Amino acid sequence: MLAAAIIPAGASGAQVERQGWTGHRLSGHGSVTRWAHPASLAPVRVSPRRNSRQITSTRYLTEDSYPEVYIALRSLRDPRGVEWTRVRVPMRPNGRTGWVRRESLGPFYKVNTKFIVNRIRGVAALYKYGRRIWKAPVGTGAPGTPTPGGNFWIREKFRTGEPGSLYGPVAFGTSNYSVLSDWPGGGVIGIHGTDQPGLIPGKVSHGCIRVRNGAVLRLFRLMPIGTPVFIH
C-alpha cells in the first residue's frame, strides 16, 4: 500500500506495516487530482514526522491575494493515528513537495482535468476524463526568457477587467516560477489573453503562456482551479 518514497527513513516496507503505518494515494492515479486550501499556517516538512526538517510554511494567499492551493498527493497515518498529507508546494525552486498535518488543510476538492502545453509546437490542450475538450495555439517564452517545463497546477483564475490589455480578458495563475515573466511583479508564470494575437503561435513572451482572447475565454469556462499543468 505504501510507496518507497514515503517509508520512514531506514525502514523496509514490511517493517513499516508492522509499525502500523498506513496510507493511500490522493492524486496522480488515472485522471483524478485532489487539492485543498490551507486551514492554518503550518510547517511543511521533508518527511511525515514532527521533528523532521521544515522546508517552508503553508500560506493563506497567492502573490495576487487569492486563496492558496496545495495539491494533495498522498495520505499517511502514523502509528499514533496522526494523519499526514504529502503536498506539492508552490515555491522556488519548482517541483518541491513536502508533508503537512492533515488538519492544516481544508476539505479536499477533486478535478478530472489536465492542461498540456507543447512549447515546440506552440499548442496547448485541455483534457477532461482523458478526452480533449479544448485546443489552441499559444505563445510561450522567448529564448532568453523561456517558459520553464515541468509539472505544475492552476492556483487562481480571474477576470482582468481590461479585455484590451496585455493580459486580455481573463487570466490563470500557475505554480510555475521563473526569473522573469509577464505577470505583474514578475516570477509567476501565468496563462492569459493578449493584445497581440498575431504573434501566436510563437516564442514571444517573458515566460507566460499567451492565448488568443476568444480561446482563453472558452478555456476560462472549462478549466477549474487545481487542474494539473504539464509543460514540455
> How confident is the model over 156-197, as pLDDT tens digits?
999 999 988 899 999 999 999 987 666 666 689 999 999 999
228-231 and 113-118 beta bridge pairing:
parallel
Mean pLDDT of the chain: 90
Mean pLDDT of 137-159: 95
Tell me which fold the domain 4-110 belongs to: SH3 type barrels. (2.30.30)
8-state DSSP, 216: H
Question: 115: how many CB neighbours lie within 10 A of its CB?
Answer: 24
Q: Report d(CA 21, CA 24) in Å as an integer.
A: 11
8-state DSSP, 70: E
Backbone angles phi, psi at 140, to 5 degrees: -125, -175
8-state DSSP, 8: P
| Cα 114–chain centre separation | 10
Beta bridge partners of 138: 211
Exposed, middle or buried: residue 200 (CB in 10 Å: 0-12, 13-18, 19+)? buried
Q: Which range (11-20, 139-148, 204-213) has the least confidence?
A: 11-20
The reported pLDDT for the residue numbered 29 is: 62
Mean pLDDT of 96-106: 98
- Name the percent of the chain lying above pLDDT 90: 79
Contacts of 145 (CB under 8 A, 6+ apart): 178, 179, 180, 181, 205, 206, 207
Cell representation of residue 120:
515546440
> How confident is the model over 211-229, as pLDDT tens digits?
999 999 999 999 999 999 9
**For residues 120 and 184, which has the higher predicted lDDT (pLDDT)?**
120
pLDDT higher than 50, residue 208:
yes
Number of residues assigned to the chain: 232
Q: Report d(CA 97, CA 105) in Å as an integer.
A: 15
pLDDT higher than 70, residue 116:
yes
> How confident is the model over 3-40, as pLDDT tens digits?
334 444 444 334 444 467 899 999 986 679 999 999 99
Indicate the class that CATH gives domain 112-231.
Answer: mainly beta
Query: Hey, where are the domains in the chain?
Result: 4-110, 112-231
Mean pLDDT of 59-70: 96
